[in-house]
Structure formats: C-alpha cells, structure tokens
Structure 1
Amino acid sequence: MKRLAIVGSQWGDEGKGKVVNYFSEKFEWVVRFSGGANAGHTIYYKGKKYVNHLLPSINPGNYSKGFLGAGMVIDLEQLIKELKVMEEDFPGISNRFYIDLEAFIVLPWHKEEDELLESMRREPIGTTKRGIGPAYTDKVSREGIKLYHIFDDKLLKQRLEDIFYLKNNIYSGRLKSNAKDVYNYLLKQREELKNLKVNYESAIDMSKVFRNSTVLFEGAQGVLLDLDFGTYPFVTSAACMAHGVSSVGFSTFELDEVYGVLKAYTTRVGSGPFPTEIKGELGEKIAKLGNEFGATTGRARSVGWLDLPALRYAKIRSGLTGFVITKADILNGFDEIKVCTGYEINGEIKEIPSSSYDFSKAKPVYETLPGWKDTNDVNFLKYMAFIEEKTGVKIHYISYGPKTEEMCSKNDLIMNM
C-alpha cells in the first residue's frame, strides 16, 4: 500500500494513535488532516508512553516524517510542548515535522470563548474547552488567523485588532485576552518553533513529494463525532472521515485502503446518544479494565457493547475497506458477550441508521455470543467472524495490548492458534 487512511469507526478513543504508530514504520509520511488538541493519541516506544494531541504519530526510531494539514486547527503552545517532550528523547526530531501554511491557529481567546459558551448553554455539549469549536467557527466566519499570518507582522497585527474589535463587542468586554497580548503571544510561539527547526510548507508544494512516496493519513476522533454525519450536535467541529484527506490535496479515490479502528466494545466520552451503553456495575468493570479515561481531558468514558449498526453506518460514510480491532483482551474471561445487531426505531428494525438522528431514537437489538479466555481462544476468532459477516468488512489486524508492538495480523493469529 502506498496510501492508507486510518480513521475511528466509533466515537473516537479506539486506539488510533497506537495503530498509526504500528503502521508508520512502513510509511515515509504520516499526515494529520483534521482536528486539533482535543484529540489525544497515545503511543508507546521502547517502553515509554507519549501522549500527543497534535503531532502525527510517526515512528520516532525511523525515518518517517509528519505533516500537519490545513484541515487542522493548531494550538501552537500545545504543539511546542509536545515537540519539546519528544526532543528530550529524540534530539532533532522537530525537523521531521512540517506544518501547512494554510492551517488555522487556536488563539487564547478561543479557549475563553469555549468556556463562556459552554457555561451559557442550557444543555452543555461536553466540549474539551480547548478552543476547537470557536477556532473552526472563526474559520467559517472568516475571522481566523492562518499560520502564514504570523510571518507578516504588520498583517498579523491588523487582523488581530480587527478580529478583537468584533469579539469585544460580541462578548461585551468579557474576554481577558486582547489583540496586543495575542500578538506578542504569537510572536513568542513563532520564535520557539524557529528554534526547534520545524518546517513550513503548503500541500501544493508537497504534492509531488507525497505522490512519489508512501503516505499514512491519520484521522482524529471517530466517524460518529464527524461534524456533518456524527450524532449532531454532540460532535466535534472537524471532518473525522477519510474524505478529510481533501484538505491535504488528495481524493479518497487515491487511497489504497481505508482502515477503521474499532474497540471490541464501544465507548464514548461527553454528552450525546449512546444506544448500547452498559449501565451500572458491569459498565464500570469494563471501564476500569480498559482504563477508559480520555487522553486529553482525563474524563471517564461511558462503556457499551459492540454496536454493529453504528459500524455499518461508519463503513458507508467513510468508505471503510478494512477493520483493525483493539482492546479485545479487555473482555478476556467474560462468559458471554452481547453484540447489538440492529436498532428498533419507531417499531421498525433497522440494520443501518438512515441519518444521525436515528441514534437518538434507537433501541438496541442484541445477540449473545460466547466469551473467550484470551485472544488465542477460538471463540474470539468466531467473534471476529461474526463482525465481518454482519458488516461486510474484513478485520485485518488485532491489537491485544497498549504497546505498539502488541499487534498482529489476523492471519498470524490464526496460524499461531
């Protein structure tokens, strides 16, 4: 494969960072094409844990490079923190990262807006308060700052003054940030990035480079949190599906494969519909076994049984051609495993939601399958075969632990049974 996209098949938190990191050794470029610092991707390298929110999940030990695309909104302060952590163990690694000049920047007042807006809602959405929504809002309303603005002092100052004039009127002087402070803040971040020797390139200039090398596209969150097709309004503000590669100048038709990452069960963090949620002691037990706490916020995730209608929906929406299953080991030792095979909606059984609205009305229809002792148990193989049969998507790889190397192909698993 020359071009592979990896996206979340559920509500995010499926273990994409580890999966991307596993595949990255086979690719020259790892490209983040959407999202911001509200997405945490955890990787392990030589026994050490790294939690990155913006950096593409490159393999630190090889030649792979990372590209942050124009579909992202980038918190420069957070990016610098992540680079400095990586620099401690891999001196010079910052020079292996490139940022698209068209990418938008998360500004200090975006985080203030995020908190203000969430506090004013009758029903909070459950944002991470990282400023992602307000940054994307400014992008759409043409009130944002692109990366290239920070290299033109006069233009940057003028734009910040114009934007702040509007925001100060909207929020009646409640913002603590002002244009002068944000200007000086951005100049400081620019200098730090210069010292780290980060590269700046547009996707236009990188087009030939990408098409003459191997590229792994790293998605953020999951299909069910996609702005257009997720469980709106309880979604993120970015594209979470493979079509987001268009922000880096690619078409989905140019992709060789689109792998969807799914847990052997389902989780979601924050508010919004969750048809297969397991309430009470059992849900708490699985959450504890799976260490289901957000890498970005530390918030506890709700846990549910595997949701096949949601996976079928993700398959169609994002053009999934294969699955990578994670955290199957968390369900080791369970006598029985439930799987949602359909939704009852207004008295009708549906295998695939017609729209994201269906998730809020769905009553899950379950089948019960035998559990497994460990992932070498034949019952786990039957579980995967059941998923493949019911979704029409093959499972290609299995993750059975948090470390990058704790993955294998399904073929290898079968051969070793």
Structure 2
Amino acid sequence: MTGAGRHTIVVDLGYGDAGKGTVVDLLCADGPVGAVIRFNGGAQAAHNVVAPDGRHHTFAQFGSGTLHGVPTHLSRFMVVDPLALAAEAEQLNALGVPDPFGLLTVDAQALLSTPWHVAANRLRELGRGAGRHGSCGMGVGETTAYALCHPDAPRAGDTLDPARLRHRLAAVRDRLTDELGELGGPPLDEVVSVFRAFGSIVSVVDGPSTLRRLLETGRCVFEGAQGVLLDEWFGWHPYTTWSTTTFDNAETLLAQAGHEALRLGVVRTYTTRHGAGPLVTEDASLTAALPERHNGTGRWQGAFRVGHFDAVAHRYAVEVAGGVDALAVTHLDVPDRVPELAICPAYTLAGPSGSTLDRLLPGRRGDLAYQERLTALLGRARPARLDRPAHWASAIGALLDAPVLIESYGPSLTDKRVLGGALAA
C-alpha cells in the first residue's frame, strides 16, 4: 500500500451535525490538499463552514474545502442532485468562489436524484403519519432504493447521452407515478434540459482513473455525510439513512487505488439528533439551552434534539466503524457555558432486572431485525449516571479509546487546536 498517513477520512460518530464540515475546512487550510472526496449521501448534507472573515456556507454536495479553492470529487457512492448542485454553485459564487463548477469532478457512475425521487420521498414519509422515520426530504434514499430495483436508474454519465438520459428520466417519472399517483414537479423536457446542461458544465469523469490521479498527486480528504449511528446497516432501524456512513466506502475507493488513510472520527461534547429515533441522553433543558441557528426544526427532519454526551452510543459507533485512529472533538466551548452538561458512561434498562449496560453489542451487517431489537432496547434505556469531567477532550478520548487530534472551541478554523503537530503528512 502507498500513501499511508497522507490522506484523511472524516466520519461523524453520532447522528450527524457533529462538525465534519468545520473539520474538513481546517484540514484543507493546514497545508496543500489536492481534493475533497465525497463518499456517501447527497444533497441532504448540511456541513456548516464559517470562514475567519465571517463568510458562511452550508455545504451539501461541494466539499467543505471549497472556500480554500480545494477541488471536489463526487465519487460513485454519491447521489448527485443537479438542481440542488446548481443552486449551491450560485451561493458559492456569491461568496467569492469564481468558478465552482471548475472545481468539481463527478464519477460517471454516481446516481442522479430527480424531482420525482424527491416527491416520492416526501409522499412516503407523509404516509407514515405518526410513525415517520425522519427524513431530509431530499430524495436521497428514494434514489438509492429505486436504483436497487431498476438497473436503468439514471447516472451522471447519462447526461452525456441525450437519448438515454430522456429515456431513463421518463422511466423514473412513470414508474413512481404508477406506484404513488401524481407526483407533480417540472415537465420532463425541463428536467432533461437542466440535466443535459449539468453534463455540459460539470466534468463527468471515469471514477477510478480520476481518483487514482488525485490520490497520487497530493493529500486528499474524504468527507463523509450524516453519522455512523444513522448507518443503513448499523443504525437504529428504521430511523436510519439509505447510506453507508462508516469508513467503508472511502476505504473501498482507497484500496482500489492502493492507498490508505487516517481514520478521523468527529464528536461533539454533547449528543444531538434530528427528528425521530432513540436519543437515550436527551434532556429538554439542554435542548432549550443550546439552540442552533442552522439546526432548527425542519418540516421533514423534525425537531433538533440535544442530550448529554452518550459514551455508550459513541463507543458502539467506533466499534461498528472498525475503530478510529484519532478524534476531533467539537463544541468544547459549551461545557463552560452549560454547567449541567455531563457524560453518560452507562445505561440502566427499565424492567424487573434494572440491569446496567455500558456496551451495545454490534450485530451482523444486513441483519435489520437485530437492529430493530437494538432500537427497542434503547427505548427502555436511561442514563445510569451522569459524570462531569475536569477535562472534556481527554475524557472523551479515554472513553472512546482514541487520541484527540483536533480540539474545536468555535465555528472558524481559528477556533481550533491541532494537538501533536501539523496535520499534513
């Protein structure tokens, strides 16, 4: 293997929103980075970056190093939404990025999300009523599910073949309409036109050769989306995403090119999640004390919920992700402002035994029945106790059995501390 230690994979060890974007921004500022490579999810990502000069952008499909001029490669594991991508490019241009699309390459095999996928996603979630799973409403899961059933699902490379593109887009519209009824959305001709424009503006490339070139040319940062506790196979089913949120996709891409990377896990000093699903350490007083401008209640995601640092759940995330080499701990400014904030090292389970649990046993990949049982178990769990550490970063590192490489005390890269020297290899 070559390149060991040169590249970095950034993964959230919670339910998302831990600060992957701000960590990637720091990595891209600390020495030259050849590219940010996105390896899961799609336009539902919301990675907030605040530059030292006050510019703010919520990155969705572009990599979070874009404000530094670092190119983005969207790998074959991404679900690409051309309409959302165009809107994001306009926002970046307004922030002073002169040619966002010039910084972008897209693997020809990446799936394309359409307005009909988005509409179907929302209809299904509405149909669940009080049993909603939680969704960003962006059609990412719907696009993935459609592709599993239909080998002719539209991909980025289809935008270079007008006839094939039209045929495949019409098939999406017609099949989903037949299943769910009228979906609305723009006319087929309009969608075809926009997607063809995407293919003419963006560099749609052969993924393996492009990735190999990027990895050989310079240090790369692999930017994950969502969090391990939402993983399609290891999250609390059914409150999960249709995406592999561990290091797996990134390491598949790296291995195919003969490279390795540092595995960097990101956690906050407190545990949060959007919408439905278990959050054992949830505390309404913390939710009230820690509102977030960019993480409010969403129509599709639901409410933003806050709890004490859940060491049990985050240890589980580390285990199912295959371990981490280092941690980035964010929101370290919060404990001083919120004296009641604490760490939960173990659960107590409701029931006759009242047993205590400090480890969640991982199941087998693909065993969703087991994941449902874990979800039910978490519904009975409560914090066994809450501890207030003297030094938060070192306490979290000890609980997760990994060294802390980055401490973050605020939104900008100037609010970060890198421990043990420079990040660049």
**TM-score band (shorter)?**
0.7 to 0.9
1:282/1:103 Cα in 2 relative to 1: closer, same or farther (>3 Å)?
closer
Instruction: Give, in angstroms, the shift of residue 13 of structure 1.
Output: 0.3
Is 1:100 the equivalent of 2:119? no
SS at match of 1:272: coil
User: What's the offset of the Cα at 1:404?
Assistant: 2.5
Report the CA distance between 1:106 and its aligned residue: 0.9
- Residue 37 (structure 1) aligned with residue 62 (structure 2): no
Q: Of 295, 299, 304, which aligns to 1:301?
A: 304
Q: How does 1:120-269 map to 2 (within 5 A)?
A: 120-122=127-129, 123-142=131-150, 144-171=153-180, 173-177=181-185, 181-191=187-197, 194=200, 197-212=201-216, 213-245=218-250, 248=253, 250=255, 254-269=259-274
Shift of 1:160: 3.0
Q: After superposition, what is the alpha-carbon deviation per residue over 1:28-47, rounded to whole angstroms, capped at 9, x for unaligned?
A: 11101110111101112332
Shift of 1:283: 3.1
Distance across 2 between alignment mates of 1:337 and 1:92: 43
Cα distance, 1:49–1:347 mapped onto 2, change above 3 Å? same
- Partner residue, 1:82: 88
SS in 1 for 2:68: coil
**Cα distance in 1 between the residues matched to 2:17 and 2:87:** 22
Aligned to 1:324: 328
Deviation of 1:410 after TM superposition, in Å, equals 3.7
Distance verdict in 2 for CA 1:57–1:148, change over 3 Å: same
Given that residues 212 and 257 in structure 2 are in contact (C-alpha distance below 8 angstroms), is that contact kept between their aligned partners in structure 1? no
3-state SS of paired residue (1:82)? helix
Structure 1 window deviating more from structure 2 (153-162 vs 220-229): it is 153-162
Task: State whether structure 2 residue 22 is matched by structure 1 residue 15.
Answer: no
Give the partner amino acid of 2:164: L
* Correspondent of 2:401 among 386, 392, 397: 392
Matched-pair contact (CA < 8 Å) for 2:160–2:199: no
> 2:74 aligned to 42, 46, 68, which one?
68
Deviates more, 1:257-266 or 1:79-88: 79-88
Which 5+ residue runs of structure 2 have no aligned equivalent?
363-370
Please give the secondary structure, in 2, of the residue aligned with 1:160.
Answer: helix
Question: How much does 1:141 deviate?
Answer: 1.1
What TM-score do the two structures reach when normalised by structure 2? 0.85
- The alpha-carbon deviation at position 236 of structure 1 amounts to 1.2
- In 1: Cα distance, 2:170 partner to 2:418 partner: 54
Conservation of the 8 A alpha-carbon contact between 2:41 and 2:225: yes
Q: Distance in 2 between matches of 1:411 and 1:192?
A: 43
C-alpha deviation, 1:104, in angstroms: 0.6
| Structure 2 letter corresponding to 1:222 | G
Cα deviation per residue 1:311-353 (whole Å; 9 max; x = unaligned)? 1111112221111111111221444542110123464322221
Q: Does 1:51 align with 2:58?
A: yes
Which secondary structure state, in structure 1, belongs to the residue aligned with residue 345 of structure 2?
strand
Cα deviation, residue 163, structure 1: 3.7
Asked if structure 2 preserves the Cα contact closer than 8 Å seen for 1:203 and 1:248, the reply is: no
Q: Which runs of 5+ in 1 are unaligned?
A: 371-378, 413-417
Instruction: Render the CA deviation track for 1:286-309: whole Å, top value 9, x for unaligned.
Output: 236x86437997964100000111
- Deviation of 1:93 after TM superposition, in Å, equals 3.5
Deviation at 1:66, TM superposition (A): 0.8
Measured in 2, the distance between the counterparts of 1:209 and 1:111 equals: 34
1:361 aligns with 2:380: yes
| Residues 90 and 340 of structure 1: CA distance in aligned 2, closer, same or farther (over 3 Å) | same
For the pair 1:112 / 2:115, whether they are aligned, the reply is: no
Name the SS of the counterpart of 1:368 in structure 2: coil
Contact residue 311 and residue 345 of structure 2 kept, 8 A = yes
Q: Structure 1 residues 401 and 10, CA, compared in 2 at 3 Å: closer, same or farther?
A: same
How many residue pairs get aligned? The number is 394
Q: 1:157 to 1:292 in 2, by over 3 A?
A: closer
- What is the match of residue 409 of structure 1? 418
CA distance in 2 between counterparts of 1:127 and 1:228 reads 17
In the other structure, the counterpart of 1:375 is: none
Give the CA deviation at 1:94.
2.1
CA distance in structure 2 between the partners assigned to 1:87 and 1:330 by the alignment: 33
2:365 matched residue in structure 1: none
The Cα offsets for residues 352-374 of structure 1, whole Å up to 9 and x where unpaired, read as 2114414333222223225xxxx
Q: Report the alpha carbon displacement of residue 202 of structure 1 after superposing the two structures with TM.
A: 2.2
> Is the 1:242–1:252 Cα contact (8 Å) retained in structure 2?
no
